[in-house]
Amino acid sequence: MEDRAEDRVPPGRGELDDLTLARARAGDEQALTALVDRYQRRVYALVTRMLVGRPQQVEDLAQEVFVKVLVGLPRFDPRGPAKLSSWILTVATRACLDVLKAKRPQTQEVPDSLPATSDPEGETAHRQMGRRVEAAMAELSEDMRAVIVLRAYHDFDYDEIAAALGIEVGTVKSRLGRARLALKEVLEGEP
């Protein structure tokens, strides 16, 4: 059987194996640790992108997400429609939306989160573009930001986004279109 590129999953990026998931659902401490280790980078990335302008809240909310995940894990149905990663990122998305809807930030700090390059001028331009994109993302409504983060950064399909946010697929498509247009307008309007 030929190994295709789309069948290969980078280490730590795939789903938790069935045995480890079953052990985690039963409360096994090592399995729970494996679950957190497997998904923590994705949760942290989602929370960071959703809470742009609120870096002081990212760590606490990411931890809060895992508390919710671990408490709710026995109720997760591995035979259900959602993959474990989709379910976990849905929990994270909803937690972020709760925080965002509770109170708007008073100041907006844009973290310097882009990788360094060997070209200083290119690195500066790359950082500036990153800051512009993050600032533009901060201007989006929470609902539009959620669909674009789930689609662009976490590769959710329309059905997964709809399930995660509790909205119709048509609403996902329209929000995604409006979010992309808003980002484009902001980025084209800046120097």
**Residues 26, 80 within the same domain:** yes
The answer to whether residues 76 and 142 belong to one domain is: no
Closest to 117 in 3D by CA, of 126, 129, 109: 126
CA distance 182 to 188: 10
Whether residue 165 is found in the same domain as residue 87: no
* Same-domain pairing of 96 and 25: yes
Domain-terminating residue out of 40, 71, 104: 104
Q: Could you tell me if residue 146 is inside a domain? A: yes
Q: The domain spanning residue 75 has which CATH number?
A: 1.10.1740.10
pTM of this structure: 0.66
99 and 13 within one domain:
yes
Question: Which two structure tokens, joined as six digits, stand for 21?
Answer: 């998931």
Q: How many CB atoms lie within 10 A of CB 60?
A: 11
Number of domains in the chain: 2
Please check whether residue 117 lies inside any domain of the structure.
no
Q: What is the CATH number of the domain that holds 170?
A: 1.10.10.10
The token duo for 43 is 């949760």
| Whether 34 and 63 share a structural domain | yes
CB 136 within 8 A of CB 188: no
Same-domain pairing of 18 and 50: yes
How far apart are alpha carbons 154 and 146 in whole angstroms? 11
Domain range for 80 = 9-104
What pLDDT was estimated at residue 103?
A: 60
- Asked if residue 128 lies in contact with residue 173, where contact means CB atoms within 8 angstroms, the answer is no
Look at residue 118 and tell me if it is in a domain.
no
| In-domain check, residue 84 | yes
Residue by residue, DSSP assigns 109-175 as: -----PPP-S-HHHHHHHHHHHHHHHHHHHHS-HHHHHHHIIIIIT---HHHHHHHHT--HHHHHHH
> Are 87 and 74 contacting, i.e. CB atoms less than 8 angstroms apart?
no
Per-residue model confidence as pLDDT tens for the chain (191 residues) = 343 333 333 445 689 999 999 999 999 999 999 999 999 999 999 999 998 878 888 999 999 999 999 999 999 999 988 899 999 999 999 999 888 887 654 444 444 444 444 566 667 776 777 777 777 888 888 888 889 888 888 888 899 898 888 899 999 999 999 988 888 887 777 55
Give a yes or no: residue 116 inside a domain.
no
